[in-house]
Amino acid sequence: MFIRVQRTCPLLFLTAILCLIACPRLAVSSNVEIVPLIGEPQESIYSARVRDALERAEDSIEILLSSASLNDVPFYELLADAAARSVTVRVLMDASDWAPAISEKNRPIVDWLCERGVDARLDDPEITLHAKLIIIDTHTVILGSSNWNAYALTEHWQADVLIRSPSIGDFYRAYFERLWLGELHDYTVEFDAVLPMDGVPTVLPLADIPDSRTYADTVLSLLGSAQRSIHVMMYRISAYASYPGSIANLLLDAVTEAAQRGLEVKVLMDDCAFYPDSADANLASAILLFQRGVDVRLDHPGETMHAKLVIVDGRSLVLGSTNWNYYSLEKNCETNMLFANLAEVAELYEALFQRRWDAARTLTEAGDSG
C-alpha cells in the first residue's frame, strides 16, 4: 500500500537562482506548498492527486509524457472533459527515431485526444522527451518518475511530488513552451547558483535539454556537500569504462569518494529483470560500486523500482525523471526538483528508501537467486 501523505509542508524561503538563456532569470521568494507522492504497488496516490488536479483545472493544463498507454489509464477522459469546459489543454508526447515502438505506442493517444478537442502532438523524433510533467493553472506542478500506463500507476515503486508555486509553475511553463514549439536550437540551460548548504530551505526546479547539466551539476554539488549519509534509489545506473569523463562516471566517483570519507553510502537499484540490457548495466554498476566499498543492493526480479531519488544527510533530496546513464544525463529532456534543507520533506522519501532497502538483496543474495 502507499504511504498516505495528508499533510503539506509550507516553505517560507526560496533562495535558489536558475538562469535560462532566452527565458527570464528566476529568483523566487514566496510560499511553496509541497505534497510528496510516494508510490507503492496496488494503490496510487499519484493517480488520486492527478485526477483531483485535472478535475479542478480552470484555465490551463500542460503535460509532457515520455511513455504512456491508451488503456487502463484514468486521465484521458478528464483531459477531454477539461477541454470541453474551455480549459486550454496541451499534451506533448515523445516520438523517437531510434525506438519506433515509442512513437507507435504514443501516436494513438495523441490521435484519441485530438479527436476529443485536446491539443496534442508528438515531439521532434530527434529529441528524447523523458520528462513526466504536469502543469495546471500555472501554479500547480506534478513531476517525478511515473509514466502513464497501468504498470507504472499500480505496480511500480515511484517517487513523485506535487508543488504549488506560481514561480515554479511559470518556470516549467516556459520550459514546456520551448519543447512544444520545438525551439531548442537557441535555448541553453545554465546552472548559476551555489547550493545553500548553510541550512536555508531551498526548492529549485531542474530542467534539462540535450547537452545541459543542470541536474548533474546540482547532484554533484549535493553529493560533495554530504556530511553524514547518501542514499540513492535509482532505476538505471550505467558505468562507462571507455568514457571516464562521462557524467554517469562522475556521479559514481562522487558516491565512491563519499564512502571513502566514511559516510554512510547506500545505493539501491532496480533488478530490471524485464529489460536485459538495463539489468546487465545495473549489475555491472553494482559490482563496480561494491568493489569500491559502497554498500549496494538490488530489488527483487518480480518488482519494479522505478524511482529516481537521491537523499543526502536525511534532509536534502533530488527526485524526478533522470536516471544515471548517458542518455538520461546528457541527451534527454528531463524534469527534476531539488529540496535542500527540508528534513520534513526528505524524511518521507527516506522512509520509502529504508523500506525498500530492507526488502532488497545484496549482490551475494542476488547471485544465489539467479
Cα separation, 269 vs 186, whole angstroms: 36
Query: For residue range 38-91, what is the model confidence (pLDDT) as tens digits?
Result: 988 877 799 999 999 999 999 999 999 998 999 999 999 999 999 999 999 999
Position 349 confidence tier, pLDDT thresholds 50, 70, 90: very high
Angle subtended by helix axes 247-260 and 276-291, to nearest 10? 30
Cα separation, 274 vs 116, whole angstroms: 34
Q: Is the pLDDT of residue 25 over 60?
A: no
Q: Is the pLDDT of residue 237 over 50?
A: yes
Position 355 confidence tier, pLDDT thresholds 50, 70, 90: very high
Domains along the sequence of the chain with CATH: 9-369 (3.30.870.10)
Which residue type does 326 have?
Y
- 8 A C-beta contact, residue 91 and residue 63: yes
Residue indicated by cell numbers 527570464: 24
Which residue type does 340 have?
A
| pTM of the predicted structure, to 2 decimals | 0.91
Position 367 confidence tier, pLDDT thresholds 50, 70, 90: low
Which whole-number Å values give the CA distances from 322 to 103, 155, 303, 309, 319, in the listed order?
Answer: 20, 20, 20, 9, 8
pLDDT at 98: 85
196 versus 206: the higher-pLDDT residue is 206
Q: What is the DSSP string of 33-66?
A: EEEEEEEBTTB-HHHHHHHHHHHH-SSEEEEEES
Q: In 3D, which of 93, 83, 94 has the Cα closest to residue 54? A: 83
Residue indicated by cell numbers 523517437: 96
pLDDT at 317: 97
